[in-house]
């Protein structure tokens, strides 16, 4: 048996990557690494400082003074920005746009790449994002590409925002989802795409339990766990 296993889960915004990765990590006793949360933390710092999300020189200038750490607690990845727990703040709707824009900047991706690879080298990990199987962990033991229709993904995101008390219309959330899909698939640095050796799973119309059971069975069979 290998010393450490790595599972890469990629896909567009709202496909259920983070929720499913968290469930699977708990079931398999793996460490869950939410790479989107790491980019959201960079985005939050830029937003707090009044830097436009597309101002690459401004965002890159932050990197020398930024300190990002994360740790798993009860299945949740808690993010710290310069020693402050920002786990809840990074989920604000405005930070979604910042995360999308800063993640398209090559210097930001390079800055965070080794942090992600180090986590996989030292633990059994499930890592989710946009380019895990293609760039971050190209040699991952299992690669999964999760997707769903834009309408389904927008509905899920809208319900999540409603539960947190954020005021956003379903139409606006759908527009944001479509814009983020375009940004993620057309960016110059590590665009969103399915790795050639990834298993495609469309979660449209499936319950969370159905998808998690299906993925767990597939992973256990593939890795002989």
Q: What CATH code is assigned to 6-223?
A: 3.40.50.300
- Cα angle value 9/87/56 (rounded, 5°): 75
Compute φ and ψ for 72, nearest 5 degrees.
-95, 130
Strands 199-202 and 31-34, by their bridges, are unpaired
211 neighbors 187 (Cβ within 8 angstroms): no
What residues does each domain of the chain span? 6-223
Q: How far is CA 116 from CA 19, 99, 104, 155, in A?
A: 19, 16, 16, 30
Q: Over the range 47-86, which residues count as b (16 or more CB within 10 Å of their CB) and which as e?
A: beeebebeebeebeebbeeeebebebeeeebebebeeeeb
**What's the burial of 118, exposed, middle or buried (CB within 10 Å: 0-12/13-18/19+)?**
exposed
CA distance 38 to 21: 15
Per-residue pLDDT tens digits of the chain, which is 225 residues long: 567 899 999 999 889 898 899 999 999 999 888 888 899 999 999 999 999 999 999 999 999 999 998 877 665 678 999 999 999 999 988 898 899 899 889 999 999 998 889 888 888 999 998 889 999 999 999 999 999 999 999 999 899 889 888 888 999 999 999 998 998 898 877 788 999 999 999 999 999 999 999 999 999 999 988
Answer for the pair 110, 117: CB distance below 8 angstroms, yes or no.
no
Residue 212 parent element (H or E): helix 208-223
**Separation of alpha carbons 129 and 39, rounded Å:** 10
**Stated pTM of the model:** 0.78
Question: Given strand 199-202, what is the order of strands in its sheet?
Answer: 31-34, 125-129, 6-10, 142-147, 199-202
Alpha-carbon dihedral 60, 65, 67, 68, rounded to 10 degrees = -20
């Amino acid at each position: 048996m290998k010393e450490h296993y790595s599972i890469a889960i990629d896909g567009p915004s709202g496909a259920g990557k983070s929720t499913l990765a968290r469930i699977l990590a708990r079931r398999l006793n793996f460490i869950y690494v939410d790479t989107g949360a790491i980019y959201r933390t960079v985005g939050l710092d830029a937003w707090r400082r009044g830097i436009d999300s597309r101002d690459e020189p401004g965002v890159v200038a932050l990197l020398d003074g930024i300190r990002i750490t994360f740790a798993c607690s009860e299945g949740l990845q808690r993010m710290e920005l310069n020693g402050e727990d920002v786990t809840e703040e990074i989920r604000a709707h405005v930070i979604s746009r910042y995360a999308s824009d800063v993640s398209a900047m090559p210097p930001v991706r390079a800055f965070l790449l080794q942090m992600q690879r180090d986590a996989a080298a030292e633990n059994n990990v499930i890592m989710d994002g946009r380019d895990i199987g293609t760039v971050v962990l190209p040699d991952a033991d299992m690669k999964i590409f999760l997707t769903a229709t834009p309408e389904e993904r927008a509905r899920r995101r809208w319900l999540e925002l409603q539960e947190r008390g954020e005021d956003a219309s379903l139409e606006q959330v759908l527009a944001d989802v479509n814009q983020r899909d375009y940004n993620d698939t057309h960016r110059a640095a590590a665009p969103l795409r399915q790795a050639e050796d990834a298993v495609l799973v469309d979660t449209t119309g499936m319950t969370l339990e159905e998808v998690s059971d299906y993925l767990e069975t597939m992973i256990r069979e593939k890795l002989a766990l």
